[in-house]
Structures are given as C-alpha cells and as structure tokens.
Amino acid sequence: MKAAVTLERFAAREYRRDPSSGAEIPELILQMAFAAKLLAREIRRAALVGRLGLVGERNPTGDAQKKLDVFANEVVVDAFADSGLVAAIASEEMEQLRTINCSPDASHLLCVDPIDGSSNTDVNGAVGTIFSFYRRAATGSCAVEDELRTGAELRAAGYVLYGPSTLLVYTSGGDVSGFTLDHDIGDFFLSHERVRCPARGPYYSANLGRYNEWAANVRRYADYLIEPDPTSGRPYSLRYTGALVADLHRSLLEGGIYLYPADAAHPNGKLRLLYECAPLAFVAERAGGRATTGRGRVLDLRPESLHQAVPFAVGSREEVDRFEKFAALRGP
C-alpha cells in the first residue's frame, strides 16, 4: 500500500490549499463517504437480509423501485439530517424536494441518485451512488427553485462505485481524485490521484438494444464506432454494464464514451439532468473530458423540474466532440 492518505486528510488539505471551495465541502464529502460505507455494507449483504427485489412501486421517474433504492435513499437522507449543513435534498427516489434544515446555517443543497444502475442489484452487478452539492441561494428559502441550477454552479460532485472494491471519486472544482474503501479499517484511502480522462477511445457504452429507435444520425454514429479503421483504432469495444457510474468510470480512466440518446420509450432521454447528468458532467469536465446533450454542454442547462431527463453523452473530449458533430447532422 502507498503512503496512506485518508479521505479526511485529503479533503482538509485540499480546502487549506484552496479555501474558495468552501469550508463545508470537506464535511459534506465526509458525510457522503459515511453514507457510502453504510451502503457498501448493505449492498454486500443484501441477499442475506432480504433486501433484494422490488418494492412493488415505481419511483418518481417511472423506474421500478427496488428495496435497495428505498433503503439507500433513507441512508443518505439520515446521514445528512443532523449534519446541519444541508438545507434540502433532491433525490431520484423522492417526488418532491425534501427539506432538511431551513435555518440560514444550512449552507448547501444535495442532489443524489442513491443507487444508480439498480437493475444490477439482484444479479450482483456493479452499482453506484451519484452526488452533488450546490451552495444554497442567498435568499435563505428552501424553495425547489433553489435546486434548479446549472451544473456549472456546482461546488462539488462525485460518485461512489460499488464493484469489486468500493471507490469514491469526487472533485470540488479542482482535480478529480479517487478513494478506495479499506473495509477492514473502515476508511477511504487515496488510490486515484489527479484522474485525467484520455482524449480518445477505445470504448463505448450504450444500450444497443435501442438502436432501431435512435434518430438516424445517432445510428450513423454507432455504425461509425464499429466500422473497422485501424488508423483511428476502430472498431471500438462495447462495454455496457447497465450502471452509468461503472461505464463512465471506465471511460474516465481508459478513454471512451457513454451515451444514452433519446429513443421511443424516452423521447427526451432517460437520464436525469439534476442528479445524474450534471454531477457526472462536472466530474468529467474537471478530469479533462466533456458531456453533451448532443446539442450543447450539459453544465450550461438549467433544469426545468427536479426529475427532468435529457439525452446524454459523456467521456473523452474528442469522442464527445465527434458524437456532437454526428448529432448535429441533418437528414433522414
């Protein structure tokens, strides 16, 4: 093991280096790390404690709700309930904004997808948590409008990937760093310093089962990716796990693109702007990558509602540029 730098030490050091990120950010990240530890434990033993399977309802975004979705949402809400730092939480699992602490001291807003890729829970596949923090609007209100901000205004964002190991990746506007959980010690340790996303491929992640429902220019882009061309390294390899966090993580480390365009079942895209796309776009950009809806930068979009979905492509800069060029082409 390398010289051990705990997440706690790292976050405090980062704040001392750049106090403009805000004194609360280290505390918020540590609180999220605490929730992630609880979730990692619960995900590992879910099959043994009856936490697999469906609740029998759909969440506010229309997805079938899993027991782990509901549990994870409670864990995250509880983790921040007494922190005194968070005024309100927007979550994939809650129809409305949940007010936590309306006093002026609660300085931040949390947006979260507690379990990303929850179709993987029952098959022991990788899942994630996506989180982001906005500084609360100066009004001191707890109104939903306060949450509807552009991703460019984010103070910090990241994700947790529960795979063979539990990895927390975050940025508070500077470098992107990754921390692996040592389950025995119970701490996250710095394992991925200054994550930089390669400018190009060789992977792509998309639900190709929807190919025939995509717009013609998106289909052409997918055809381009698998067209043999040794000079540009094509065909690219398909990697699609069913968990956005896991697929994006691969592209961030090794280069590539994740895309979820509009299709017949999701005419505005499937992924949610506020708590899925914007936080991951923030991380990707800070790592040197890009994120687009196909029509423009994800971080410039102001959500019109808590659960608004958008078409989404994220990953290596040149790959996302190319996708955007295809998406802009007109034609049948």
Q: Between 119 and 308, whose beta carbon lies closer to ligand F6P?
A: 119
Residue 226: closest CA among 210, 209, 252, 204: 204
Footprint (CB under 6 A) of ligand F6P, residues 136-155: none
Q: How many CB atoms lie within 10 A of CB 80?
A: 25
Which phi and psi (to 5°) does residue 114 adopt?
Answer: -60, -45
Q: Between 41 and 210, whose beta carbon lies closer to ligand F6P?
A: 210
Q: Between 97 and 130, whose beta carbon lies closer to ligand F6P?
A: 130
CA distance 200 to 315: 9
* E strands present in 67-219: 86-91, 98-99, 108-116, 127-135, 156-162, 166-171, 177-182, 187-192, 203-205
Give yes or no for residue 60 binding ligand F6P (CB under 6 A): no
CA distance 202 to 252: 11
> Residues touching ligand F6P: how many (CB under 6 A)?
9
Asked if residue 42 lies in contact with residue 55, where contact means CB atoms within 8 angstroms, the answer is no
Give yes or no for residue 117 binding ligand F6P (CB under 6 A): yes
Q: Between 147 and 263, whose beta carbon lies closer to ligand F6P?
A: 263
CA distance 218 to 183: 42
Rg (CA), the chain: 19
Contact window for ligand F6P (CB under 6 A) among 148-156, 241-249, 281-289, 304-312: 241-249
CA distance 265 to 21: 40
Measured in whole angstroms, the distance separating CA 292 from the mean position of its chain's CA atoms is 14
Give yes or no for residue 291 binding ligand F6P (CB under 6 A): no
CB of 36 to ligand F6P, least distance (A): 17
Q: How many residues does this entry show for the chain?
A: 332
Look at the block and give the residue holding tokens 């405090």.
12
From candidates 142, 243, 306, 327, binder to ligand F6P by CB under 6 A: 243
Q: Between 10 and 312, whose beta carbon lies closer to ligand F6P?
A: 312
CA distance 172 to 156: 4
Give yes or no for residue 130 binding ligand F6P (CB under 6 A): no
From candidates 24, 27, 69, 116, binder to ligand F6P by CB under 6 A: 116
Helix (H, G, I), strand (E, B) or coil at 9: helix
Contact window for ligand F6P (CB under 6 A) among 38-46, 104-112, 236-244, 305-313: 236-244
Give yes or no for residue 222 binding ligand F6P (CB under 6 A): no
Binding to ligand F6P by CB under 6 A, coded x per residue (else -) over 263-282, reads -------xx-----------
Give yes or no for residue 242 binding ligand F6P (CB under 6 A): yes
From candidates 181, 244, 257, 273, binder to ligand F6P by CB under 6 A: 244
CB of 213 to ligand F6P, least distance (A): 11
What residues contact residue 322 under an 8 Å CB cut-off, 6+ apart?
221, 224
Q: Between 155 and 270, whose beta carbon lies closer to ligand F6P?
A: 270
Contact window for ligand F6P (CB under 6 A) among 5-13, 220-228, 238-246, 315-323: 238-246
Footprint (CB under 6 A) of ligand F6P, residues 172-211: 207
Footprint of ligand F6P on this chain (CB under 6 A)? Answer: 116-117, 119, 207, 242-244, 270-271
